[in-house]
């Protein structure tokens, strides 16, 4: 059995020392695992171990915000997952980057700081996640953040530093103004009172560097002396005594190591958390038997309910030389990099997603189901394809897809990478929403505010107009926004995996799951910040404590949402009982014509 040695340092040796027992072992040093290590370690009497399959996260290329596409495409930091052929996308195999290393995906993502809509969390409760309503969760969002901007419902002293970009590029302002001209609301801060509308976006950046979960939580936790972090430690299975989890087995440099604890916490992410459960005999019995794994506990929901956000790039030529294109040559990139190395500012200190929006796809939708990230450049998210010449684009996609997929073991060898299929676009509503993404973006780009900049449409292109043509463009070009979640859903029904009041795996002692896999529904926006919030509250549930619910927790909607797709004013403030009735009414509607 392992023990702590020089606690507070990172080890890559995985060595066996002594016979001391841990209070908690956290599997995975991603966004959730880092938060848990910090919060559970506040009780310095507790001995905590974190095992992580990847290595360190502190390389310059990780810390530089504008270089985000590089670690995302580097084997050192990315698991390199891909989907099985997606049957509703002409059998395309989709790329699925997942963070591998301290900080997990918070060390390779786009750093977009988005809480989601307050109604996301009311919907979680509607789906059976008791206790996860907006008034309860708002104090946890405030606890995690240190925000530079003003705002009534923002935190000022949390570990995650949050800022706006400098917004010096005129295209950001033109995009926001165009949205208002199209009849949508303007939001001064999407993470404060009003989520819906067009406005500036925030990023988790501190002093010009990426503020990952490892930077914000894990490294301070290690300084206390009661935490051991072992890197390059790949969890193979949980150690079970009947239906009680008592430890974990991990592989390190070709050998297997076993270590035990009073409590096991699985925070390996939406792909690997269900994999570790299934390798340990916890999951759908048919799938386990097919993979040759002895069934410990038949839990049908493990690995199911897989969801994601998809997005398209609607790209436009820019008639004025104001985009980022002239910086995209070797000399331009060298200048950006040198300035950032010397001063930690300039174009190297931003993710370039400095403006965005959240809107509704059609009447009868109560709160935003479409998100925009605006970029003053025409390029793919992974940086692999760049338009020739000045351009700009909106990354746009639905946020509440109804399509559901799965994560399963490779039956030929459960130690292999898992099989992943999202079944993207398998529901008709997803096609309705994705077509709306294209048409609504075109309308916004055609507003007077964009007239001085917008040239010819680069993608989908002026000849792509009918539903059939747009559908084919979607099949050919849609990409994951890299927000998988839901594979160990919390709830109280028979398919739920995790108890929402304790985070314990249903039917198993000594085991909890805390990461994006427990989300009942993806939030209306990037999911990294909701994952951090989730871990903040889960840490309190594990310690049998909680923050008081917010006395004031506004939930704003358009009063005319049943009949109107857009409004310049989002003013109605709902209570919890109002929202239960609203969800029932929304389910009865089929949408309608946009109010133009």
Q: Which residues are catalytic?
A: 483
d(CA 393, CA 387): 11
Task: Work out the number of other CB atoms within 10 angstroms of the CB of residue 288.
Answer: 26
- Strand pairing of 209-210 and 95-96? unpaired
Q: What are the tokens at 268?
A: 């390996």
d(CA 72, CA 61): 10
Tell me the Cα Rg of the chain: 23
* Interacting residues of 153 by C-beta distance below 8 A, sequence separation 6+: 138, 142, 192, 193, 550, 553, 554
* Interacting residues of 106 by C-beta distance below 8 A, sequence separation 6+: 30, 31, 34, 99, 204, 212, 213, 214, 528, 532
By the 8 A CB rule, do 50 and 33 touch? yes
Dihedral of the alpha carbons of 455, 461, 462, 464, in degrees to the nearest 10: -160
Residue count of the chain: 596
- Helix, strand, coil percentages in the chain from 3-state DSSP, rounded to 5: 30, 25, 50
By the 8 A CB rule, do 250 and 25 touch? no
By the 8 A CB rule, do 403 and 425 touch? yes
Going from the C-alpha of 113 to that of each of 15, 57, 243, the distances in angstroms are: 38, 20, 39
By the 8 A CB rule, do 376 and 392 touch? yes
* Interacting residues of 466 by C-beta distance below 8 A, sequence separation 6+: none
By the 8 A CB rule, do 525 and 115 touch? yes
Angle of helix 118-126 versus helix 576-588 axis, rounded to 10 = 80
| String of DSSP letters for 470-502 | HHHHHHHH-EE-S--B-TT-BSSSTT--B-TTT
Q: What are the tokens at 112?
A: 């977009």
By the 8 A CB rule, do 532 and 114 touch? no
Closest residue by Cα to residue 228 from 511, 462, 446, 37: 37
């Amino acid at each position: 059995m392992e023990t702590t040695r020089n606690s507070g340092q990172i080890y890559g040796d995985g060595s066996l020392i002594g016979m001391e027992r841990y209070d908690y072992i956290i599997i995975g040093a991603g966004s959730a695992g880092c938060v848990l290590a910090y919060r559970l370690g506040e009780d310095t009497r507790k001995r905590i171990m974190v095992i992580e399959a990847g290595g360190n996260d502190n390389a310059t290329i990780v810390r530089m915000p504008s270089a985000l596409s590089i670690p995302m495409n580097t084997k050192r930091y990315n698991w390199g997952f891909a989907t099985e052929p997606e049957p509703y996308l002409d059998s395309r195999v989709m790329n699925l980057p997942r963070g591998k290393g301290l900080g997990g995906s918070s060390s390779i993502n786009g750093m977009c700081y988005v809480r989601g809509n307050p109604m996301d969390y009311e919907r979680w409760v509607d789906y059976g996640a008791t206790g996860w309503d907006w008034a309860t969760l708002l104090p946890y969002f405030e606890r995690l953040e240190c925000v530079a901007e003003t705002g009534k419902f923002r935190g000022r002293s949390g570990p995650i530093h949050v800022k706006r970009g400098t917004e010096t590029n005129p295209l950001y302002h033109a995009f926001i103004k165009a949205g208002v001209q199209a009849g949508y609301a303007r939001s001064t801060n999407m993470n404060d009172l009003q989520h819906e509308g067009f406005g500036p976006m925030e990023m988790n950046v501190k002093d010009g560097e990426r503020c990952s979960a490892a930077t914000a939580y894990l490294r301070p936790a290690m300084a206390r002396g009661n935490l051991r972090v072992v890197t390059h430690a790949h969890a193979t299975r949980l150690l079970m005594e009947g239906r009680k989890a008592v430890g974990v087995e991990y592989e390190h440099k070709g050998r297997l190591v076993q270590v035990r604890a009073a409590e096991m916490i699985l925070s390996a992410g939406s792909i690997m958390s269900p994999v570790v459960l299934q390798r340990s005999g916890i999951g759908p019995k048919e799938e386990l038997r097919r993979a040759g794994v002895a069934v410990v506990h038949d839990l049908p929901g493990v690995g199911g309910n897989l969801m994601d956000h998809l997005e398209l790039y609607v790209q436009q030529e820019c008639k004025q030389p104001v985009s980022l294109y002239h910086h995209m040559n070797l000399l331009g990139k060298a200048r950006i990099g040198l300035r950032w190395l010397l001063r930690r500012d300039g174009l190297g200190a931003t993710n370039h997603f400095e403006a965005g929006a959240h809107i509704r796809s059609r009447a009868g939708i109560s709160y935003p189901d479409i998100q925009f990230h605006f970029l003053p450049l025409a390029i793919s998210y992974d940086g692999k394809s760049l338009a020739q010449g000045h351009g700009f684009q909106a990354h746009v996609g639905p946020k509440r897809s109804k399509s559901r997929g799965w994560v399963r073991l490779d039956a030929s060898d459960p130690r292999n990478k898992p099989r992943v299929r999202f079944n993207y676009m398998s529901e008709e509503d997803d096609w309705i929403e994705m077509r709306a993404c294209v048409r609504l973006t075109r309308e916004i780009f055609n507003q007077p505010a964009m007239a001085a900049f917008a040239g010819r449409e680069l993608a989908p292109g002026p000849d792509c107009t009918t539903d059939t043509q747009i559908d084919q463009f979607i099949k050919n070009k849609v990409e994951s926004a890299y927000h998988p979640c839901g594979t160990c859903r919390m709830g109280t029904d028979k398919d739920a995996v995790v108890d929402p009041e304790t985070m314990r795996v249903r039917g198993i002692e000594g085991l909890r799951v805390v990461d994006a896999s427990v989300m009942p529904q993806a939030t209306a926006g990037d999911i990294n910040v909701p994952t951090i919030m989730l871990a903040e509250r889960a840490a309190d549930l594990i310690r049998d404590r909680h923050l008081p619910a917010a006395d004031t927790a506004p939930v704003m909607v358009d009063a005319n949402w049943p009949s109107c797709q857009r409004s310049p004013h989002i003013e109605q403030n709902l209570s919890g009982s109002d929202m239960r009735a609203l969800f029932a009414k929304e389910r009865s509607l089929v949408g309608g014509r946009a109010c133009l």
